[in-house]
Structure 1
Amino acid sequence: MKAIVYERYGPPDVLQLREVAKPVPKDDEILIKVYAATASAGDWRLRKADPFLARLFNGLWRPGKIKILGFELAGVVESTGKSVTRFKPGDAVYAACGYGFGAYAEYKCLPETGGVGPMPANMTFEEAAAVPVGACTALQFLRKGNIRRGSRVLVYGASGSVGTYAVQLAKYFGAEVVGVCSTLNVELVRSLGADRVIDYTKERLSDEGTAYDIIFDTVGKSPYKVCVKRLKPEGFYLQAVRVSPLPIIRGLWTNLTSGKKVTGESMKDSAEDLIFLKELIETGKLRSVIDRRYSLEQVAEAHRYVEQGHKKGNVVISVRQVDDEKRTGGCTPLTPD
Structure 2
Amino acid sequence: MSAPTQPALRTMKAITQHRYGGLDTLEHETVARPVPAKDEVLIRVQGASINAADWLLIQGEPFVARLAFGIRRPMVSTRGRDVAGVIEAVGDNVRGFSVGDEVYAEVDAGSFADYTVAKSKRLAHKPSRISFAEAAAVPIAATTALQGMRDVAKIKPGDTVLINGASGGVGCFAVQLAKAYGADVTGVCSTANLEFVRSLGANHVIDYTGEDFTAGEARYDVIFDLVGNRPLAECRRALTRRGTLVLASGNGGRVLGPIRRMLAAMLLDMFVTQKLRALAAVASGADLEVLRELIEAGTITPPVDRSYPLAETPEAIRYFVEERVKGKITITIQNNTKEQHQ
- Give the TM-score normalised by structure 2: 0.91
For residues 230 and 327 of structure 2, the distance between their equivalents in structure 1, rounded to whole angstroms, comes to: 18
Whether 2:23 is the aligned partner of 1:9: answer: no
For residues 295 and 316 of structure 1, the distance between their equivalents in structure 2, rounded to whole angstroms, comes to: 9
* Other structure's SS at 1:205 match: coil
- 1:223 to partner: Cα distance: 4.1
Match of 2:320 in 1: 306
Instruction: Tell me, yes or no, if the aligned pair for 1:34 and 1:105 is still in contact at 8 Å.
Output: yes
For residues 30 and 107 of structure 1, the distance between their equivalents in structure 2, rounded to whole angstroms, comes to: 10
Structure 1 counterpart of 2:100, from 82, 90, 98? 90
RMSD (CA atoms): 1.6
- Spell out, residue by residue over 1:182-233, the C-alpha distance to the aligned partner (whole angstroms, 9 max, x if none): 1000000001110000011111113321111110012322442221111112
Whether 2:53 is the aligned partner of 1:53: answer: no
Match of 2:330 in 1: 316
Q: Can you give the 5+ residue segments of structure 1 that lack an aligned partner in the other structure?
A: none
For residues 229 and 299 of structure 2, the distance between their equivalents in structure 1, rounded to whole angstroms, comes to: 28
For residues 81 and 333 of structure 2, the distance between their equivalents in structure 1, rounded to whole angstroms, comes to: 13
Identity of matched residues, %: 41
Which residues of 2 match residues 59-208 of structure 1 at below 5 A? Answer: 59-64=70-75, 66-97=76-107, 100-113=108-121, 115-143=122-150, 144-208=152-216
For residues 190 and 144 of structure 2, the distance between their equivalents in structure 1, rounded to whole angstroms, comes to: 22
Whether 2:303 is the aligned partner of 1:296: answer: no
* Other structure's SS at 2:32 match: coil
Instruction: Tell me, yes or no, if the aligned pair for 1:35 and 1:319 is still in contact at 8 Å.
Output: yes
Q: Can you give the 5+ residue segments of structure 2 that lack an aligned partner in the other structure?
A: 1-11, 251-256
Query: Aligned residues, how many?
Result: 324
Larger Rg, first or second structure (1 or 2): 2
Matched AA of 1:190: R
* Other structure's SS at 2:28 match: strand
Q: 1:284 to 1:184 in 2, by over 3 A?
A: same
Matched AA of 2:114: E
- 1:310 to partner: Cα distance: 2.4
For residues 134 and 222 of structure 1, the distance between their equivalents in structure 2, rounded to whole angstroms, comes to: 22
Instruction: Tell me, yes or no, if the aligned pair for 1:4 and 1:15 is still in contact at 8 Å.
Output: yes
Structure 2 counterpart of 1:286, from 286, 300, 308? 300
- Spell out, residue by residue over 1:13-38, the C-alpha distance to the aligned partner (whole angstroms, 9 max, x if none): 11101111111222221111001101
Whether 2:233 is the aligned partner of 1:228: answer: no
Match of 2:31 in 1: 20
- Spell out, residue by residue over 1:35-62, the C-alpha distance to the aligned partner (whole angstroms, 9 max, x if none): 1101211001001012222222222222
Matched AA of 2:186: V
For residues 258 and 292 of structure 2, the distance between their equivalents in structure 1, rounded to whole angstroms, comes to: 34
- Spell out, residue by residue over 1:81-140, the C-alpha distance to the aligned partner (whole angstroms, 9 max, x if none): 12222100111001111xx22111111111212x21000010000000001111110000
Match of 2:6 in 1: none
For residues 164 and 154 of structure 1, the distance between their equivalents in structure 2, rounded to whole angstroms, comes to: 12
* Other structure's SS at 2:270 match: helix
Runs (4+) of structure 1 moved beyond 4 Å? none
- Spell out, residue by residue over 1:255-297, the C-alpha distance to the aligned partner (whole angstroms, 9 max, x if none): 0110211122311111111111111111111001111111110
Q: 1:253 to 1:85 in 2, by over 3 A?
A: closer
